[in-house]
Amino acid sequence: MQIAIDHRLIYQYERPVFLEPHSLRLSPRQNSSQRLISHGLEVSPSPAGCCAMQEPDGSDGQVLWFNDPCDRLEIRVRSELETLRSNPFDWILSEAGAQTLPLHYGAPLAASLQPYLVNLASAAVAAWAADQAAAVAGATAAFPQQLADEIHHNFEHGSRPEGEPFSPHDTLSQRSGACRDMAMLFIAACRSQGLAARFVSGYSIHHPPEVTEQELHAWAEVYLPGGGWRGYDPSLGLAVADGHVALVSAPDHQLAAPVSGSYRGTGVQAQLSYQVKISSTEVQTQQQATG
């Protein structure tokens, strides 16, 4: 699928402030599931400098720094890419010991995945995750989709443009939240069953009914031996395929923020507005007849 994204963010300040360095993670990552065709970044006021960098997950990022005070920061990114994974279930579990939960990765892999295995689950979240595992007889391959289905169908979903994610415990007890809250609950539940899981920021062409306009989206990825990192969207109840565009991933939401930075200005309030436009078209594959 070919997807075009036009994302505009505007930060307005009550009076001029000094901007500290800002990290941007707004370039779609490139891997086996998506291929970047074009990407453009516009920033106003123009930064004094810009450093292209590689994020810990391998995706592209930029660090901007500024010299002069300003009362407005506008960031606009326009990207075009092709998503490549039409079938999210095109994998097998390649290790016999990975078939059932709780999962125990081999030593070299476990060391590499350690940041994504840190336990975030309260006793209540761990017990709930164990119930979801029991519902699929402890089958590793079925567990992530069971979790996504359970959260999608039995939790109330809403939009909350700003703020930290709720704790997994609070999301479970309230059975409601925004996409980032659901993603962190999903991650905590997976880790409690030994599955490495990470937070993903990006976009989706799918439009949940509680969201009235297109916006940034969050979901999770699970590391499955034989499948690698595989996305699951608990807000939508989906195994992620070619309708999602990933920007960045991290052990939790903090290093997966599309924009992070601060400003200096005593008592100055800031207001954020944004606009996201996403369009998609099916990629036509020509097949040559033989015979």
Amino acid at 241: A
Give the whole-angstrom CA distance, residue 169 versus residue 263. 32
Q: Is 125 helix (H, G, I), strand (E, B) or coil?
A: helix
Amino acid at 160: R
Mean pLDDT of 227-240: 97
Q: What tokens does 104 get? A: 């125990």
pLDDT at 208: 62
CATH architecture, domain 96-241: Roll (3.10)
The answer on pLDDT for 287 being more than 70 is: no
Q: Which region holds residue 189: left if phi is over 0, alpha if psi is between -120 and 50, else beta?
A: alpha
Share of the chain above pLDDT 70, in %: 95
Mean pLDDT of 32-39: 96
Give the whole-angstrom CA distance, residue 224 versus residue 113. 11
CA distances (Å), origin 197, targets 224, 228, 238, 250: 10, 11, 16, 9
Fold of the domain spanning 2-84+258-281: Immunoglobulin-like (2.60.40)
pTM of the model: 0.93
Q: What tokens does 133 get? A: 């595992």
Residue 162 — pLDDT band, cuts 50, 70, 90? confident
Give the residue carrying structure tokens 């992620």: 240
Give the whole-angstrom CA distance, residue 42 versus residue 128. 45
What does the domain layout of the chain look like in residue ranges? 2-84+258-281, 96-241
Mean pLDDT of 48-59: 95
pLDDT at 262: 96
Output the CA angle 243-200-23, nearest 5 degrees.
115
Please state, rounded to an integer, the average pLDDT across all residues of the chain.
Answer: 94
CA-based end-to-end distance of the chain: 29
pLDDT by residue (tens digit) across 56-109?
A: 999 999 999 999 999 999 999 999 999 999 999 999 999 988 999 999 999 999
The answer on pLDDT for 49 being more than 80 is: yes
The answer on pLDDT for 290 being more than 70 is: no
The answer on pLDDT for 214 being more than 70 is: yes
Q: What tokens does 137 get? A: 């007889």
The answer on pLDDT for 285 being more than 90 is: no
pLDDT at 104: 95
